[in-house]
Amino acid sequence: FVDDNHNLVFVLYGQGYRAEGKEGILTTQVTVKAYDEDKKPINFANLLDSLIVSEYQMEPNLWEVYHD
């Protein structure tokens, strides 16, 4: 997902655990903060929106498969 600061965030889920009578799942959050050549922050929300739009603009059945 993209957080409120427009950073790309991955949430990773690990194994389950039990401690002090409670159960849970280990989770880790990784935040990607990217900058361009001018050291300006990259807005992942805008970047991902453009990728999604491109996907929907693809015309169906234009894929061709080649084999020997």
Give residue-wise pLDDT tens across range 12-48. 999 999 999 999 999 999 999 988 899 999 888 887 7
Task: Tell me if 44 sits within 8 A of 6, measured CB to CB.
Answer: yes
Q: Where are the alpha helices (DSSP H) in 1-68?
A: 44-57
So where are the chain's domains? Answer: 8-57
pTM over 0.75: no
Q: What are the CA-CA distances from residue 28 to residues 3, 19, 35, 63, 66 (Å)?
A: 15, 18, 23, 38, 42
Q: ∠ CA(47), CA(52), CA(57), 5° rounding? A: 125
The whole-number average pLDDT for the span 49-61 is 54
pLDDT at 60 > cutoff 80? no
Whole-number Å distance between alpha carbons of 57 and 21: 52
